[in-house]
Amino acid sequence: MSKKIAGPEIERLVQLLARLPGLGPRSARKAALGLLKKRQELLVPLSDALKIAVEKIVECPTCGNLDTVSPCTICQDPRRDPTLIVVVEEVGDLWALERAGVVNARYHVLGGHLSPLDGIGPENLNIGSLRLRAAASDVGEILLALNATVEGQSTAHYVMDQLVGLDVTVSRLAQGVPIGGELDYLDEGTLAAAIKSRRRV
């Protein structure tokens, strides 16, 4: 029978850390040890930050983003283009676009994509609220920035159907050769998409 090497509190900490994305039991143990070794510099501030996150971070009722204020900072920002709404699957996608700083618009987070296998249907996504937002008079364009996967594009087509009849332009991200991509190494699907969406120079 194996001997216990730590109290239940430490075991619990390791178990919870192991449930985080990117961490397994071994790396969770390492992380727990690191936190316990640097109690004042890491563990206490982290625990305070987590407590504040639990208390203050909420989902924006307008766009589905996560923030400490409601509506979120992006929805409240008057410098953003109110005529353009960028639709993304997850908050992580919104963060990726914000990191790149390539679009100065407002967002709408669907909360996933249609996936019959996982039991995710239209009623599980924030599509109804998108339609309401798109119907507002100041919105002129809906940009569907969804993943170039079968599920992502099926969701995009579904969203397009829901926006039929509204006075908005619906656009989607281009698909093709990535920056730094060499044609020799690209899959045929990407090459076909690149050829299909070629443009005059």
Partner 1 sequence: MEWSDEAIVLSVRSHGETAAVVDLFTRSHGRHSGLVHGGRSRKARPTLQMGNHVDATWKARLAEHLGHMSVELRRGYAASAMDDPAALAGLTSMCALARLLPERDPHPALYEVTLFVLGFLDDPTVWPALMVRWELSLLQELGFGLDLSACAATGVNDQLIYVSPKSGRAVSESAGEPYKDRMLALPRFLTSARDRHATRDDVAAGFALTGFFLEQRVLAPKGEGLPESRARILTHIDR
Q: Closest CB to partner 1 among 61 and 189?
A: 189
Q: Which of residues 22-51 bind partner 1 (CB under 8 A)?
A: 22
Stretch that binds partner 1, among 58-66, 70-78, 101-109, 186-194 (CB under 8 A): 186-194
Peptide bond into 78 cis (omega under 30): no
Q: Check binding of 166 to partner 1 (CB under 8 A).
A: no
Q: x/- contact string, 85-114, with partner 1 (CB under 8 A)?
A: -----------------------------x
Provide the residue type at 116 as one letter.
Answer: P
Q: Alpha-carbon distance 140 to 1, whole Å?
A: 68
CB of 49 to partner 1, least distance (A): 24
Q: Check binding of 192 to partner 1 (CB under 8 A).
A: yes
SS3 161: helix
- Among 47, 149, 169, 171, which residue sits at the site for partner 1 (rule: CB under 8 A)? 149
Copy the structure tokens of residue 182: 């060499």
Q: Check binding of 68 to partner 1 (CB under 8 A).
A: no
- Among 66, 158, 166, 177, which residue sits at the site for partner 1 (rule: CB under 8 A)? 158
In sequence order, what DSSP letters do the residues of 50-98 get, joined into one string? HHHHHHH-EE-TTT--EESSSS-HHHH-TTSEEEEEEEESSHHHHHHHH
Provide the residue type at 100 as one letter.
Answer: A
Stretch that binds partner 1, among 55-63, 101-109, 135-143, 144-152 (CB under 8 A): 144-152
CB 144 within 8 A of CB 156: yes
Centroid of chain to Cα 55: 21
Q: Check binding of 193 to partner 1 (CB under 8 A).
A: yes
Element holding 172 (H helix, E strand): strand 169-172
| Residues within the interface to partner 1 (CB under 8 A) | 21-22, 114, 116-118, 121, 148-151, 153-154, 157-158, 160-161, 175, 187-190, 192-193, 196
